[in-house]
Amino acid sequence: MLQGVFVVLFVLDLALRSVGGSTIGLRSWPALGSVVVLVACAAAVLLRADRVPAWAIGVVPVLDLAALGLSRLDSLTSGAGVLAVVPALWLGRQFGRTGAAVAVLSALLLLVTPGLLYFGVGGITLSRALLLVVVVGWSALAIVSALERARAGWDEAERGRVELAAALETIEHQRRVDEAILDTVDVGLVLLDGEGTYQAMNRRHQAFMRLGYPDGHAGRAGQLGAVYAEDGATPLEHEDMPTYRASQGEEFDDCRIWIGHDPRTSRALSVSARSVRDEHGTFTGAALAYNDVTDFMQALRVKDEFIASVSHELRTPLTSITGYVSILLEREDLPRQVVAQLEVVDRNTDRLRRLVADLLHTAETDERPMHVVRARTDFTDIVREAVGAATPAASSAGLDLRLEAPDTLPAVVDRQRMAQVVDNLLSNAVKYTPAGGRVRICLGVDGDRLDLAVSDTGIGIEAGDRARLFTRFFRARHAEEQSIQGVGLGLSITRSIVESHGGRIEVESEVGQGSTFRVRIPLDVEQPARPV
């Protein structure tokens, strides 16, 4: 292409010179120069063949420079020398710094020297000639340096492209690994964006979705479908849907739901959610995990049914044993030894009766909220009775049992249930305190709440166990290790009674130092101002 440009400019120069008045004859220097240009053109065409060595193409611009040298010989003032820039650019572009050197050398020998020999070394001629060589050299070097910079840029860009491709490949590989891992786990996983749109889910969750949304899902959090509450029957409201709650930034664990219309195929899921936030703490989405707990839920149901039916079956014979034992104990004609033995039977029957009552209670209250019948009662009376009942056990265990309570403390509570609360806390304090220890019960009023604290100097409860203390059948490690008898129901029943009165139960404890269980419930009656 450069040869084409050169030919056009060369012809233009000749034409302009003719227009300017010069006559260019067939036997003139410019005509000879034109012949050389034609030779250069022919060489340019021929040297395009593949087998020709790369340097050979350099002959063409050198011939161009020679043609220019010849065409300048008819007039010292010809501007044709400027065209030398074209072959200089060509040489520089093609062969780099070597090409620039060849351009300068060719300009000196072929372009300038013939003129100097022909016209003689006049002042102007020499300066023009040298200027021409400088321009040629500068042009060649300019393109060399431009090309070098461009090449450096290309290399940089290429390196960047290669690194980017490698990074993309790594990310893609990691994505496939993550996908494989997420598909392997037996937990449904969902990722929501900040607007509550589904971003991704694993294969396990796709199966859950088919069950919960047989007619399809629009990919937005909170869509209603065959999704039910923990009872397996109440359809979930939009606001209660785990995805909706998570999309509002809520974090939770063990939210139990059922999915699926058909009870034979429906599954129980335990859902956890965590928020995703950016580096500024702004909510950008949520991740949810759905754990299949169907077998666990069914096992719980079976266990509760079993407990309920066994407890019912035990209650009838127990009632009859209690009845006959008390009839026997009323007799006056029994030997003392028999009475003592009957009293042992009576005590143990009473223990059994309480245990059965606890089991029944547990099985029943799990299904529905506890029913309490409140009435105005003197709470001090309840506590006094409980202390009276616990005193024999406390003394035989070598414990110092003390009560601090106002003379009366009216409260609107379920007397029987509250007696059970005080009994449970007190019997635990006695049971878990070694001989020589102290048990204290403090009853008072804190604002509009009744405040009952049962403290002991017993074995204490480890911090890790405290959170699960009120869970059914839970027994702390220390109690198990020391083989202290119990089934782990008392505190769970105690809590449900307290909560059904709108109250709270808390525990403070230190291993080896003792524990304090504190119950606060609304009094619901006007209290006369009294010192507590």
Strand, coil or helix: what is 60? helix
Residue 486, interface with ligand ADP (CB under 6 A)?
yes
65 binds ligand ADP (CB under 6 A): no
Q: Which listed range, 50-58, 170-178, 259-267, 480-488, lies at the site for ligand ADP (CB under 6 A)?
A: 480-488
CB 334: neighbour CB atoms within 10 A? 14
**For 200-215, b where at least 16 C-beta lie within 10 A, e where not — what string?**
ebbebbeebbebbbee
CA distances to 10, 230, 253, 258, 376 from 291, rounded to whole Å, are 85, 14, 11, 11, 46
d(CA 342, CA 337): 9
Our finding on whether 491 is near ligand ADP (CB under 6 A) is yes
Work out whether 479 is an interface residue with ligand ADP (CB under 6 A): yes
Is residue 469 near ligand ADP by the rule CB under 6 A? yes
Q: Which of 246, 297, 461, 523 binds ligand ADP (CB under 6 A)?
A: 461
Interacting stretch for ligand ADP, rule CB under 6 A, among 85-93, 163-171, 373-381, 426-434? Answer: 426-434
230 phi and psi angles, rounded to 5 deg: -60, -30
Nearest approach in angstroms of CB 306 to ligand ADP is 19
Task: Work out how close the CB of 347 gets to ligand ADP at its nearest, in angstroms, rounded to a whole number.
Answer: 17
Residue 223 token pair: 């869509």
What is residue 371's DSSP assignment?
Answer: P
Helices (H) and strands (E) in the chain, counts: 15, 13
Q: Measured from the CB of residue 349, what is the shortest distance to ligand ADP in angstroms?
A: 18
Report the distance separating Cα 253 and Cα 270, nearest Å. Answer: 8
Chosen residue from 10, 275, 456, 495 binding ligand ADP by CB under 6 A: 456
Contact with ligand ADP (CB under 6 A) among 57, 65, 293, 489 = 489
- Tell me whether residue 88 or residue 441 sits nearer to ligand ADP (CB atom): 441
Q: Which residue is nearest to ligand ADP (CB)?
A: 486
Taken as a whole, the chain contains a residue count of 532
Q: How far apart are CA 361 and CA 366, in angstroms?
A: 8
Q: Which of the ranges 1-9, 311-319, 402-410, 475-483 carries the binding residues for ligand ADP, by CB under 6 A? A: 475-483
Residue 60 touching ligand ADP (CB under 6 A): no
Q: How far is the CB of 227 from ligand ADP (least distance, A)?
A: 34
Task: List the structure tokens of 528.
Answer: 């006369």
Residue 428 interacts with ligand ADP (CB under 6 A): yes or no: yes
Among 7-15, 369-377, 398-406, 467-475, which window interacts with ligand ADP (CB under 6 A)?
467-475
Provide, rounded to whole angstroms, the least separation between the CB of residue 451 and ligand ADP.
Answer: 18
Of 490, 497, 498, 523, the one binding ligand ADP (CB under 6 A) is 490
d(CA 421, CA 408): 18
What does DSSP say about strands 438-446 and 400-404: parallel, antiparallel, or unpaired?
Answer: parallel
Q: Which two tokens stand for residue 49?
A: 């063949």
Binding interface with ligand ADP (CB under 6 A): 424, 428-429, 432, 456, 458-461, 469, 474-476, 479, 486-492, 515
